[in-house]
C-alpha cells in the first residue's frame, strides 16, 4: 500500500520583550539560575499577573505578517497540569479565543509554490527548566531554574498541510525568516527561543480521512525536525504494513541515535480543565490598533524576494536564499551598492560566504568579511589583478584573518600572470609534454582542450589569466 504523509507543526517562538509576560522580571538569557524571578513568576499565592503590552504588540505583528486575522476580543485561559517546572500548577495561555486565526505562509518546494495554512496563533507563558544532575555530576538530583518561567511566547499552529520532512523544514525556514524580519522573535534555536513539535500521520493514498498522529515534542533544530519526521514516517509505515495500528501518543527525538521514542500517551484538552483566567481582564483590540501595527511592519521576506528578482534581475532561487535572513539580505544590498553586478555578488554570497559561515556555524553579523571587503575583492578580479580562481583562495584567507584583499594578495604574491610571453612559454611546455592529447584534440575530441587549459593553469600555480591561456592555446595549436 502507498501512504501519504500528513504533517502539522506547532511552533513556539519567544517574543522579543525585555520583561516577562505577567511581571517585570528580565527575560535576559544566561543569567544565574533563578535570578530573574519574583513572587508572580514563582507562582506565590496571592500574587497577581499584569499583562505586558509589548508582548501583545509583538504577537499582533506575528499574526499580521502571517496573514492571520486578529480577534477583536482576547481572553487568557488556565491550562491546568502538574509539573515541577510549573510553580502555579497551571499555565496561562489562550484557548477558545486565540489572538490570530486562519493565516497562511507561502513556501517554495523544488521551484513550485505552496500555500501552508495556519490554524491559529495564541499567546502564552513559558514554563521553567529542569536540569538533571546526571549532566552536572550529581546523579539522582534534579534542579529547577525559573528564569524562563513567564517568558512570553506565541504558539503558531499549522494546518496539516505539509507532506514531507523537507516541506516541514522549508516551512520552518520561511516562518523563521518572517518572525526575524517582523522583529517578533530573535529565533535563536540554541537558546530555545524557537522550538517545534511535529505531528505526523499516514493515510492510504487517495483516502480523505486523516490517520492517527503522533506528536514529537521539543525539536530544537530544523535538521532534527526533518530527521524526526522522516524517522516517524518510516516507523509508522512499518507498523501499518504489519497490520498494526498507530497509537496516538507524544514522543521525543533522540538526536544522537536518530530515533523517536514514546514519552506518554496523548492527553486531551479536557484533561487540562481549561477555564478563563480570572486574574486577567479580557483584551479588546480595535481596528485602528490593528491598522497601526500593520502599517509599522517592515518589508517581509516574500516582498523582499520579489523586489530582488525585479530590481536586481537575479533568479528566484538566488533571491530566496539571499532573503532567508534580514542580515544576509542587508549584506547583499550593501554589496550591490558598492559593486553593481548583482548576479556576481549573489554567486559569491551564496557560494563562498554562506559556505564558510555554515561550516563554522557563524552568523553573518560576525562575519570577518564585510560588504566593502567582498566588493573590493571582486573589483580586483575585474581589473585583472587576480583571476577568479585566485580570488577564492584570497577569500578564504580574508575569512580566516579578516585582512583586506590587497594585503592578502601582496603577502601571498598572488599576482595574476597577464604577460602573453610568459604564458606562451607555459603553453609551449604543456603542448610538448602532451603531444598525444593535442593529436586527439585535432582529431575532433574537443573535451581534451579543457584538460590542456587545466595543465597550463596548474603549471602557473593557478596564476595565469584563464582567457589568455585559452586564446594562446588555440593560437598555438592551430
Residues in touch with ligand ADP (CB under 6 A): 6-10, 157-160, 199-201, 210-211, 213, 215
Q: Quick check: 119 and 98 in contact, CB under 8 A?
A: no
Residues listed for the chain: 478
**Closest approach of ligand ADP to the CB of residue 203, in Å:** 8
- The set of cell numbers assigned to 395 is 577569500
Q: Is 38 in the site for Zn ion (CB under 5 A)?
A: yes
Residues 180 and 449: their CA atoms lie apart, in Å, by: 49
Q: Which does 100 bind (CB under 5 to 8 A by kind): Zn ion, Mg ion, ligand ADP, none?
A: none
With contact defined as beta carbons under 8 Å apart, do 87 and 42 qualify? yes
Applying CB under 5 A, the span of 39-47, 155-163, 175-183, 188-196 interacting with Zn ion comes to 39-47
Q: Nearest CA to 456 among 438, 444, 440, 478?
A: 438
Q: Does 127 bind Zn ion (CB under 5 A)?
A: no
**CB closer to Mg ion out of 19 and 216:** 216
Of residues 7, 23, 378, 469, which one binds Zn ion by CB under 5 A? 23
Closer to Zn ion at the Cβ: 87 or 98? 87
Instruction: Give the one entry of ligand ADP, Zn ion, Mg ion, none that residue 232 binds, where binding means its C-beta sits below a cut-off of 5 to 8 angstroms depending on kind.
Output: none
Q: Which of 29, 30, 49, 31 is nearest to 41 (CA)?
A: 49
What is the smallest separation between the CB atom of 266 and Mg ion, expressed in angstroms? 9
Strand partners, 251: 216, 262
Question: What residue 7 binds from ligand ADP, Zn ion, Mg ion, none (CB within 5 to 8 A, per partner kind)?
Answer: ligand ADP
Using CB positions, name the residue nearest to Mg ion. Answer: 10
> Contacts with Mg ion in 6-65 (CB under 5 A)?
10
DSSP-derived letter for residue 456 is H
Q: Which does residue 25 touch among Mg ion, ligand ADP, Zn ion, none (CB within 5 to 8 A, set by kind)?
A: Zn ion
41 binds, among Mg ion, ligand ADP, Zn ion, none (CB under 5 to 8 A by kind): Zn ion
Grid cell listed for 173? 525556514
- In order, the DSSP letters of 353-395 are IHHHHHHTT--GGG-SS-HHHHHHHHHHHHTTSS-HHHHHHHH
Which of 10, 316 has the CB closer to Mg ion? 10
d(CA 244, CA 419): 75
- Of 463, 461, 444, 434, whose CA–CA distance to 473 is shortest? 434
**Rounded CA separation 92/86 (Å):** 11
155 vs 459 by CB, closer to Mg ion: 155
Residue 162 has what DSSP assignment?
Answer: B
Q: Which does 38 bind (CB under 5 to 8 A by kind): Zn ion, Mg ion, ligand ADP, none?
A: Zn ion
Residue 252 C-beta: closest distance to ligand ADP, Å? 15
Residue 41 near residue 149, CB atoms below 8 Å: yes
Q: Which stretch binds Mg ion (CB under 5 A): 4-12, 179-187, 385-393, 398-406?
A: 4-12
Q: Considering the complex, what minimum distance in angstroms separates the CB of residue 70 from ligand ADP?
A: 19
Nearer to ligand ADP, 5 or 452 (CB): 5
Say how many C-beta atoms besides its own lie within 10 A of residue 401's C-beta.
12
Q: Which is nearer to ligand ADP, 172 or 364 (CB)?
A: 172
* CB closer to ligand ADP, 10 vs 85: 10
Those residues whose C-beta lies under 8 Å from the C-beta of residue 138, and which sit 6 or more positions away, are none
Question: Three-state SS for 207?
Answer: coil
151 binds Zn ion (CB under 5 A): no
From the list ligand ADP, Mg ion, Zn ion, none, partner contacted by residue 8 (C-beta under 5 to 8 A by kind): ligand ADP
Dihedral Cα 151, 152, 154, 155, nearest 10 deg? 40
One of 13, 15, 41, 179 touching Zn ion (CB under 5 A): 41
By C-beta, is 4 or 10 nearer to Mg ion? Answer: 10
Contact pick of 5, 13, 25, 353 for Zn ion (by CB under 5 A): 25
> Of 125 and 318, which CB lies nearer to Mg ion in the complex structure?
125
User: How many residues bind Mg ion, per CB under 5 A?
Assistant: 1
Partner interacting with residue 289 (select from Zn ion, ligand ADP, Mg ion, none; CB below 5-8 Å by kind)? none
Nearest to 212 by CA among 197, 200, 204: 200
Decide which of Zn ion, Mg ion, ligand ADP, none touches 23; Cβ closer than 5 to 8 Å per partner kind: Zn ion
DSSP string, 405-447: HHHHHHHHT---B--HHHHHHHHHHHHHHTHHHHHHHHTT-TT
**H or E element: which one contains 336?**
helix 326-338
Residue 145, contacted partner among Zn ion, ligand ADP, Mg ion, none, CB below 5-8 A by kind: none
Q: What is the dihedral of CA 221, 162, 115, 171, to 10 degrees?
A: 0
Rounded Cα–Cα distance for residues 396 and 359 (Å) = 12
Q: Which residues bind Zn ion (CB under 5 A)?
A: 23, 25, 38, 40-41
Residues at the interface with Mg ion (CB under 5 A):
10
Amino acid at each position: 500500500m502507498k501512504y501519504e504523509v500528513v504533517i502539522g507543526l506547532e511552533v513556539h517562538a519567544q517574543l522579543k520583550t525585555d520583561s516577562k509576560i505577567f511581571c517585570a522580571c528580565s527575560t535576559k538569557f544566561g543569567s544565574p539560575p533563578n535570578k530573574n524571578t519574583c513572587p508572580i513568576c514563582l507562582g506565590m499565592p496571592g500574587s497577581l499577573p499584569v499583562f505586558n503590552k509589548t508582548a501583545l504588540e509583538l504577537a499582533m505583528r506575528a499574526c499580521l505578517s502571517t496573514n492571520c486575522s486578529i480577534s477583536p476580543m482576547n481572553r487568557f485561559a488556565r491550562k491546568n497540569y502538574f509539573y515541577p517546572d510549573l510553580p502555579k500548577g497551571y499555565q496561562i495561555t489562550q484557548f477558545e479565543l486565540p489572538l490570530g486565526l486562519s493565516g497562511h505562509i507561502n513556501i517554495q518546494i523544488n521551484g513550485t509554490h505552496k500555500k501552508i495554512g495556519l490554524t491559529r496563533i495564541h499567546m502564552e507563558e513559558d514554563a521553567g527548566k529542569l536540569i538533571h544532575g546526571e549532566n552536572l555530576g550529581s546523579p539522582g538530583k534534579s534542579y529547577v531554574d525559573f528564569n524562563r518561567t513567564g517568558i512570553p511566547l506565541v504558539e503558531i499552529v499549522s494546518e496539516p498541510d505539509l507532506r514531507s520532512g523537507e516541506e516541514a523544514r522549508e516551512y520552518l525556514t520561511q516562518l523563521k525568516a518572517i518572525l526575524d524580519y517582523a522583529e517578533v522573535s530573535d529565533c535563536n534555536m540554541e537558546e530555545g527561543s524557537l522550538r517545534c513539535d511535529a505531528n505526523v500521520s499516514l493515510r492510504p493514498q487517495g483516502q480523505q480521512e486523516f490517520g492517527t498522529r503522533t506528536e514529537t515534542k521539543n525539536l530544537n533544530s530544523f535538521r532534527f525536525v526533518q530527521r524526526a519526521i522522516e524517522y516517524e514516517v518510516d516507523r509508522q509505515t512499518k507498523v501499518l504494513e504489519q497490520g498494526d495500528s498507530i497509537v496516538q501518543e507524544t514522543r521525543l527525538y533522540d538526536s544522537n541515535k536518530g530515533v523517536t521514542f514514546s514519552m506518554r500517551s496523548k492527553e486531551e484538552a479536557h484533561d487540562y480543565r481549561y477555564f478563563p483566567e480570572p486574574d486577567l481582564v479580557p483584551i479588546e483590540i480595535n481596528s485602528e490598533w490593528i491598522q497601526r501595527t500593520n502599517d509599522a511592519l517592515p518589508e517581509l521576506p516574500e516582498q523582499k524576494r520579489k523586489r530582488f528578482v525585479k530590481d536586481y534581475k537575479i533568479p528566484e532561487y538566488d533571491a530566496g536564499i539571499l532573503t532567508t535572513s534580514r542580515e544576509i539580505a542587508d549584506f547583499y544590498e550593501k554589496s550591490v551598492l558598492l559593486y553593481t553586478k548583482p548576479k556576481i555578488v549573489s554567486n559569491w554570497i551564496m557560494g563562498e560566504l554562506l559556505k564558510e559561515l555554515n561550516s563554522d556555524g557563524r552568523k553573518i553579523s560576525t562575519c570577518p568579511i564585510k560588504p566593502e571587503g567582498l566588493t573590493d575583492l571582486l573589483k580586483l578580479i575585474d581589473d585583472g589583478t587576480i583571476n577568479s580562481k585566485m580570488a577564492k583562495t584570497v577569500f578564504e584567507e580574508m575569512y580566516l584573518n579578516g585582512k583586506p584583499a590587497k594585503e592578502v594578495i601582496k603577502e601571498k604574491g598572488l599576482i595574476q600572470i597577464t604577460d602573453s610571453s610568459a604564458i606562451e612559454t607555459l603553453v609551449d611546455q604543456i603542448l610538448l609534454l602532451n603531444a598525444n592529447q593535442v593529436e586527439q584534440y585535432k582529431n575532433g575530441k574537443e573535451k581534451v582542450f579543457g584538460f590542456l587549459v587545466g595543465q597550463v593553469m596548474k603549471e602557473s600555480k593557478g596564476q595565469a589569466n584563464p582567457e589568455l591561456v585559452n586564446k594562446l592555446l588555440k593560437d598555438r595549436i592551430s
